[in-house]
Amino acid sequence: MQKPAECTTILVGKDATIDGSTMIARSEDGGSTIIPEAFITVNPEDQPKHYQSVISKQKIDDEDLLPNPMRYTSAPDASGKHGVWAAAGINEATVAMTATETITTNSRIQGIDPLLEEGGLGEEDFVTLTLPYIKSAREGVKRLGYLVEKYGTYEMNGSAFADHDEVWYIETIGGHHWAARRIPDDAYVAAPNRLNIDFFDFKDEENFMCSSDLLDLIEKYHLNPDYQGYNLRHIFGSSTIKDAHYNNPRAWYIHRYFDPEWEGTPADQDQPFITYAKKKISPEDIKFLESSHYQDTPYDVYSTTNTDAEKKLFRPIGINRNFETHILQIRNDVPEGLAGVQWLAFGPNTFNVFVPFYTNVTTTPASFQTGPKFDLSKIFWVNKLNAQLGDTNYKVYSALEQAFEEKTMAKLRKIENETDEAAKNLTGKDLQEKLEEANQKMADLTYKASVDLTGEMVETGHGLMKLKYDLLD
């Protein structure tokens, strides 16, 4: 069983962020079945020495599982039933990876290099086979590209890498091809479930990479519909009615948030891949967008002034199928040992908060090590419960959530600031223990605040229940 085509990716270069960090973010969404997500550290002794995919049964040659793997954080599926699905993490070389954004394709490339029907790698495998072995974002692109060329893939996917200086986005093309682009330092990217890379310069090897025969393939099979240049979305992607309703509106809303004068419509098929904000971007901006449902537009499902048809017209970013969302931040204003931060939230983003976990650690808080069964000692299930309660009367409960999120985020920021100062001269085990202590403190604070939110929602909703009777009624 594979996950449906979900997720929304946001990438930000270091000159476009509020603090000079690089940030790569993605919501990991699923389908109608709840998919519990966890947060763990994979230490070198835990990295597999032999590997076989669960879904495709693809075996990896042992020589491709390089010796001396690095420690890395991971946000895997809690059950492990369909494989690891590590999703996102930062390794001990302070390199970040998120995988994957399911993307679109067309029959022209599928008729030349079809997706594999047997074997191959996919979202289940990419982080586990890539992140522990790379020391830069550029290396990440090359290694993932190598794996796709050697073993092939059964799905179209986009992945992103970041280090202190660079952000890269790579997309698989057909069964064995790929292309990647470096995000300019002063730019951001909004990438929904479509093939996203547009302009591509095959001569600029500093900012563009691809499988060696990609240009020859385009020319040989007459794949380019444009008179001039190369637009990979036009060549390999789609431009369908589904894109107009499912994908493009999400990018439109993000662009509209970062630039109020943004022109275009939600269904616009040619929104650019590389874009520039009118202000510097913070983690709080990304949290709002990953939680958004077209607020202040006619398409908000929670609005009381629009029609049912308008509410159902476009797929929102924040949705009941958000199961895990992250911002992988590589900071440039702190010592190296403090640089990696994995902002993490479980459950639907309309009723949760992002926690800025340090990644230079060997273990993670127990409340974030989710199990597959409903368990209110785990933050995943508390957040899921709050979102389902909140959805019953958003107008009432959203005010409680907003206060919860602002107060909790401020307290988490305070812990982070205090830890940065206290740990700036620490190294080695002393540093890791300090960061693990801070992570535990943030997890405990978040869990308590989330349970308190549950209590406030129950108390507020008590008088709103329809099943009631009073002599004064």
Q: Is the peptide bond before 100 cis (omega within 30 degrees of 0)?
A: yes
State the CB neighbour count (10 A cutoff) for residue 369: 17
CA dihedral (343, 165, 317, 372) positive or negative = negative
Catalytic-role residue among 7, 144, 339, 345 = 7
Alpha helix stretches (DSSP H) within 280-393: 283-290, 308-311, 379-391
- 266-270 long-range contacts (CB < 8 A, ≥24 apart) are 266/299, 266/314, 269/239, 269/243, 269/244, 270/198
Active site residue 210: no
Q: How far is CA 180 from CA 36, 102, 165, 380, in A?
A: 31, 15, 16, 33
The Cα 270–Cα 423 span in angstroms is 47
The Cα 7–Cα 137 span in angstroms is 21
Provide the residue type at 106 as one letter. Answer: N
Q: Are strands 88-90 and 72-74 parallel, antiparallel or unpaired?
A: unpaired
Provide the residue type at 204 as one letter. Answer: D
State the CB neighbour count (10 A cutoff) for residue 257: 18
Q: Give the CA angle between residues 267, 325, 287 to the nearest 5°.
A: 70
The Cα 294–Cα 317 span in angstroms is 8
The Cα 9–Cα 202 span in angstroms is 24
Catalytic (active-site) positions: 7
